[in-house]
Amino acid sequence: MEERIALSRTTKKTRALSDDEIMGRFVVRARRVESNSLVKSGAIKCYATPKMTLSVNEASGASIRYHVCADEESIESLATRLRPFIVKSEPIYLPKVLDAISAQTSSESLSENEAEILKATKSWFSQRYEEKNSERYGIQLVGKDGESLTGLLSDALLAEAWIYTDTVHADPEGEKAEAQKLSYSNRYRAASSYWCEFAIVIVNLLSLVRSLSERGLLKVPDSSWSEPVSYAEAEKYEQEQIIAGSAYVFPPGTVIPEGVNPEDIPGARKVTPEVMIRLQHPEGAAW
Is residue 189 domain-resident?
yes
Neighbours of 23 (CB within 10 A): 25
Residues 168 and 204 reside in one and the same domain: yes
Per the domain annotation, does 164 fall within a domain? yes
The reported pTM is 0.79
In a domain, 237, yes or no: no
Q: Identify whether residues 156 and 219 lie together within a single domain.
A: yes
Q: Is residue 156 part of a domain?
A: yes
Does 74 reside within a domain?
yes
Report angle CA 69, 74, 79 to the nearest 5 degrees: 100
Owning domain of residue 249: 243-284
Same domain as 97, residue 36: yes
Residues 270 and 142 in one domain: no
CA–CA gap between residue 89 and residue 51 (Å, rounded) = 34
For residues 178 and 275, state if they share a domain: no
Q: Judge whether 227 and 243 are in contact, CB under 8 Å.
A: no
Element (H, E) at 54: strand 51-57
Q: pLDDT tens digits for the chain (287 residues)? A: 444 545 445 455 557 899 999 999 999 999 999 999 999 999 999 999 999 887 777 777 777 888 999 999 999 999 999 999 999 999 999 999 999 999 999 989 999 999 999 999 999 999 999 999 988 999 999 999 999 999 999 999 999 999 999 998 888 888 888 999 999 999 999 999 999 999 999 999 999 999 999 999 999 999 999 999 998 888 887 776 655 566 777 888 888 788 778 777 888 777 776 655 555 566 555 55
* Number of domains making up the chain: 2
pLDDT in tens, 61-118: 777 888 999 999 999 999 999 999 999 999 999 999 999 999 999 989 999 999 999 9
> Distance from CA of residue 263 to its chain's centroid?
43
Instruction: Check whether residue 135 and residue 103 sit in a common domain.
Output: yes
- The verdict on 129 and 256 lying in the same domain is no
Kindly give, in sequence order, each residue whose CB lies less than 8 Å from that of residue 59, ignoring residues fewer than 6 positions away.
none
Same domain? For 179 and 217 the reply is yes
In a domain, 5, yes or no: no
Residue 235 covered by a domain: no
In this structure, how many other beta carbons lie within 10 angstroms of the beta carbon of residue 271?
13
Residues 73 and 201 in one domain: yes
